[in-house]
Every structure is written in structure tokens, then in C-alpha cells.
């Protein structure tokens, strides 16, 4: 959440070590806490002397939306600024109050779709035991649902499946249950774009 404390609020970041003369897309998720809000996106050169793109007005609503703007560096330039701001010449109206911003990212090129890894899905292959091996992100659609379901089927044989020698037929020790873990490919609520990661 970003709160305007002046009538000309600006949130910006300088980014260096980019490709000489490269084309870059800045994109960001935004929403208004109520109603709508008019704000502008821009890409500014490294000296903060000229706009490379924008300012372009966007209109966040109460639903999360992703906005983008694309600009190209001049030859010999390897840095820029990404900017979200109130820009009066565009008729913006973010002079007071809040806006919600999330997931700002700068990508080399003009297709920001390529920058997403949907981390609510399994990011590593399953092994035969049914468990995910390696770095994994697990998410649920809300704070009450469990992302994991574990079951232990009743033993069908008095012989443990992994034992080096058979148990006696009249053994009272049950077989070790086989555990299965379900990792559902659930999506987050439509109004909350969680579980996204991006890279340059």
C-alpha cells in the first residue's frame, strides 16, 4: 500500500547494468482500495532528463490488474528509472489516499508474460514415493484449506513390504502404511494475485 503524502506522489526505482540500447518492459500489479484511481506509469532515462516511455495513464479498480509500459534505451545507455506517479497533465487523480502496488518487474524485451513462474503449481517433478523433491512452494486458495492430504491405507498383508525377512504369519505388528501426499494445483483467489515470481 502506497499512501500519498503530497499532491504529486511518485514512487520510482533506478536500475543499472542493463543491455546497451536495449528495449525493456516495466510491469506492475495495481488496485484501488475502493472505486477507481487514475495514475501514470513511465520509464525515464538514467539521467532523469527525458521520458523513454509515458507517462501513460492507467486506471486501477478494486480488482488486481497488471499494467505495463515498454521503452528503449538510447545507444550507449545502460540504466533507467521505472516510475509510478501522479501526473496532472494526464488528468490523474492520485493526490490523496492510497493505491495498492505489487509485483513490480522489469524485463528485457516486450513480452512480460515470459517472466512469470506460477508458484502455486508444483515446481519440481514427483518421485515415486509421491513427494516433491527439491525446492517447492505450496499454496492454498484461502487460510482455512489444507494444501496437503495424507492417507494411510489399511494393511493387506502381515508382511512389511520393505522388510529384509518375512514376519511370522501370526504377527500382531501391522505392515508399515504407504503414505501418499496430494499437492493440488490450486489457484489463489481472483482478487489477490499471490504466488507469482518474476525475473529480469
Select the more confidently predicted residue: 181 or 44. Answer: 44
The verdict on residue 46 lying in a domain is yes
The verdict on residue 14 lying in a domain is yes
d(CA 151, CA 194): 29
Select the more confidently predicted residue: 186 or 198. Answer: 198
Name the residue among 116, 119, 96 with its Cα closest to residue 107.
116
pLDDT at residue 163 tops 50: no
The verdict on residue 41 lying in a domain is yes
Question: Percentage of the chain with pLDDT > 70?
Answer: 55
Full domain range(s) for residue 30: 2-117
Total of domains in the chain: 1
The verdict on residue 124 lying in a domain is no
Predicted local confidence at residue 105, as pLDDT: 87
What secondary structure letter does DSSP report for 98? E
CATH code, domain carrying 70: 2.60.120.260
pLDDT at residue 170 tops 50: no
Q: What is the pLDDT of residues 75-97, one digit of tens each?
A: 999 999 999 999 999 999 999 99
Predicted local confidence at residue 61, as pLDDT: 96
The verdict on residue 61 lying in a domain is yes
Mean pLDDT throughout 129-157? 53
The verdict on residue 57 lying in a domain is yes
The verdict on residue 92 lying in a domain is yes
Q: Is 71 helix (H, G, I), strand (E, B) or coil?
A: strand
Select the more confidently predicted residue: 125 or 182. Answer: 125
Nearest 10 degrees: Cα torsion 112, 28, 142, 183:
20
Whether 86 contacts 78, CB under 8 Å: no
Highest mean pLDDT among 131-135, 165-169, 181-185, 191-195: 131-135
| Backbone φ and ψ of 157, nearest 5° | -145, 145
142 — pLDDT class (breaks 50, 70, 90): low
The verdict on residue 170 lying in a domain is no
Amino acid at each position: 500500500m502506497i499512501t500519498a503524502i503530497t499532491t504529486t506522489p511518485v514512487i520510482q526505482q533506478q536500475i543499472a547494468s542493463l543491455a546497451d540500447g536495449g528495449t525493456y518492459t516495466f510491469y506492475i500489479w495495481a488496485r484501488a482500495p475502493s472505486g477507481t484511481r487514475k495514475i501514470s506509469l513511465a520509464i525515464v532515462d538514467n539521467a532523469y532528463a527525458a521520458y523513454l516511455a509515458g507517462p501513460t495513464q492507467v486506471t486501477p479498480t478494486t480488482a488486481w490488474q497488471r499494467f505495463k509500459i515498454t521503452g528503449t534505451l538510447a545507444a550507449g545507455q545502460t540504466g533507467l528509472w521505472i516510475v509510478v506517479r501522479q501526473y496532472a497533465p494526464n488528468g490523474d487523480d492520485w493526490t490523496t489516499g492510497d493505491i495498492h502496488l505489487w509485483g513490480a518487474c522489469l524485463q528485457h524485451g516486450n513480452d512480460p508474460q515470459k517472466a512469470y513462474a506460477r508458484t502455486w503449481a508444483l515446481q519440481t517433478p514427483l518421485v515415486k514415493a509421491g513427494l516433491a523433491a527439491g525446492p517447492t512452494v505450496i499454496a492454498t486458495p484461502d487460510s482455512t484449506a489444507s494444501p496437503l492430504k495424507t492417507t494411510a491405507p489399511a494393511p493387506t498383508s502381515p508382511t512389511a513390504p520393505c522388510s529384509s525377512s518375512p514376519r511370522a504369519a501370526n504377527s500382531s505388528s501391522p505392515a508399515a502404511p504407504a503414505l501418499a501426499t496430494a499437492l493440488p494445483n490450486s489457484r489463489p483467489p481472483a482478487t489477490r494475485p499471490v504466488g507469482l515470481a518474476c525475473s529480469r
